[in-house]
Chain A
Amino acid sequence: MTENAECRQCQDWIDDAFSGELAAELRPKLQAHLDSCPECRAVWQDTQTLQRGMALLAESDGPSLKSQTAILRAAEARAEKGQAKRAGLWSWLFRPATVAFATLALVAGLSILGRQELQKKKAAEQQVTSPVLAPQGTTTIEAAPMGGMTAPATLPQTSGNREGTAKAKKSEVDTKTAPKPQQAEQAPVKTDEERRKIPVDQAIEAAPSTLGVLKDSDTARPAPAPMKALAKPVPPPPPASDPLAPASVQAPSIPEAEKGAGGSPQKEAPNLQQQEKKQENFQPPGGDALGAVNSVSGGKSLERAATEDKAKEPTDRFQSLLNSAKLKIRQQKYPAALEDLLAAQRIRDNKEIQDLILLCRSHLRGDG
């Protein structure tokens, strides 16, 4: 091979090396030629510069974070949609609204059935107790479907002829518990006192027979379940103190209002800490007399200040974690950034945190 032909061959190998397609066995040959030929070595160096330039372009001209998160969000949404589609009927069946409706229907059904059973029982009991109250000359046959088992068809006047108050009371209770208005209508004539009572009793009994369904279903209705599912937007209040929050994060936990009021954060922070300490002294955990006095007098404002301050702590901790995570993302320290983000998410979850977590995870799992 002439020198020119060798150089042409070498430049092909250089191009292949740039494209990542140079066979391993050709590398020593390429190296040997580069060692002996300054012209090809210059081409090789130019190619390396080109490679470096391409890497720089890739670094400096990637898609924006906004685009990346938008795409990853869309991918998540699509995955969720796909899952819902696959789940098909099952997902429909287990939707909160469907579950709530089914539960409601079941409870209402059971309540009606139960009521019917109860009515039957009461009707039977009514048959047993009514003869005692039946006026003279009247029959209880109509009101006694279980004829053979009831008392004699005609009963003597029972006014003032009761067998003691206990029995009378029992009848009263019986009539009260009799559920059906029709049974009350069919109930035999009672004593004067009972006559006066009957309408009221009947009214009481009659009312639940209709209202009872509602009442039962009202009490048994599992309304909170669907409501909870739908009423998602109410976030849980931030925890009063975050176990992850180090004590050193106290300083930035100055309420925004105070910051805005012109007080310097450095000066205000110790005051609040002092207030907290005072509060601790005033109000022992058990809550004794001093604590009570405290809550009524000036201690109240201290307590409020301390509570507000504690409530602000997670917010500041959250913000500092978020800022730290953003910095780490810029420095491409994704594992450390992810840790901060997860800690921040424990304090408060929002779209920004989710996006950043998604970004870090995709960086960590991806090849890049």
Chain B
Amino acid sequence: MNRPNPASPRDDELIAAYLKGQTEAFGVLFQRYKNGIFFVVRNYFHNRERAEEVFQEVFLKLLERLDHFDGSGSFRGWFFTLCRNHCIDRLRQQARRHETPDSQWRHEDDDSQATPIARAANEAMPADERAYDRELAAHLEEAIQKLPDEQRETFLLKERGGLTFEEIAQMMGVSINTVKSRMRYALESLRRGLRHKPFVKEALR
């Protein structure tokens, strides 16, 4: 998650500027949140196409409701709650329509799923380093996928979304301590998952 630079404008300032007609302000806000939001959406929708669709819907919903953000709480918390609720709504609709569940996330073909920018950056790396990174990313995805739902969501909201424990607690309707312990369990599981992989040992040599 790209945490805002202290020198850069605050979220509420960007929103105010955008509502006054400065489109570029929204661009900054978008860059700040796009990856975090996308990751959270991907947590719910493992099919990339579907995730892209819902990702767009989340931002369109944000545009619709930006007027309603009163600035009393953090925008990040408000926005991620909006995102989470939208994802849950869409999943319910999907379940009602008896659609086939999303395929396992990102395992078909890494290259076809990566962004052009990431692909170009990937091409510039030495082959062995690239292979290591690919393997690491694949194992981590697998490990994240294996986490219990609450732990995975907490981990992604914290790590990708950059939300505070308090914001996550509010969003999920649990205490801060619960959130903290879920995060700890998630980290322990992920570390354990990576520790037993040969490529990690090799990299640490």
Contact = CB atoms under 8 A, between A and B. Distances in A.
A215 interface: no
A47 B26 CA distance: 34
A61 B112 CA distance: 11
A283 B57 CA distance: 61
A366 interface: yes
Contact of A76 (B23, B55, B119): B23
B30 A71 contact: yes
A54 B140 contact: yes
B35 interface: yes
A361 B136 contact: no
A363 interface: yes
Interface stretch (B76-84, B86-94, B95-103, B186-194): B186-194
A46 interface: yes
B63 A64 contact: no
A201 B115 CA distance: 81
A18 B59 CA distance: 28
A82 B67 CA distance: 11
A363 B30 CA distance: 9
A83 B139 CA distance: 48
Contacts, number: 163
Contact of B116 (A49, A67, A330): A330
Contacts of A4: none
B27 A63 contact: no
A67 B56 contact: yes
A313 B34 CA distance: 39
Instruction: Report which residue of A52, A58, A60, A67 has the largest number of chain B beta carbons within 10 angstroms of its beta carbon.
Output: A60
A358 B31 contact: no
Nearest to B8: A367
A70 interface: yes
Contact of A72 (B26, B110, B121, B133): B26
B82 to A, nearest CB: 14
A362 B31 contact: yes
B140 A50 contact: yes
B24 A362 contact: yes
B104 interface: no
A43 interface: yes
Contacts of B117: 62, 329-330, 332
Given A60-B114, A64-B52, A329-B117, A71 B35 contact: no
Interface string B104-126: 00100010011111111110100
B115 A362 contact: no
B197 to A, nearest CB: 9
B130 to A, nearest CB: 10
Nearest to A75: B26
B27 A79 contact: no
Interface string A39-71: 000110111011011101111111111111011
Interface in B153-182: 158-160, 165
Nearest to B67: A82
A53 B139 contact: yes
Contacts of A59: 118, 121
Contact of A63 (B55, B133, B191): B55
A71 B4 CA distance: 20
A196 interface: no
B28 interface: yes
B32 A366 contact: yes
Contact of B191 (A46, A52, A70, A366): A46
Contacts of B28: 362, 365-367
Interface of B: 2-5, 8, 18-19, 21-24, 26-28, 30-32, 34-35, 38-39, 42, 52, 55-56, 59-60, 63, 106, 110, 113-122, 124, 133, 136-137, 139-141, 158-160, 165, 183-184, 187, 190-191, 194-195, 200, 203-204
22 contacts: A49-B203, A53-B140, A53-B194, A56-B137, A56-B140, A57-B137, A60-B113, A61-B39, A61-B42, A61-B118, A63-B34, A71-B60, A72-B30, A75-B18, A75-B59, A358-B27, A361-B24, A362-B31, A365-B31, A366-B32, A367-B32, A368-B32
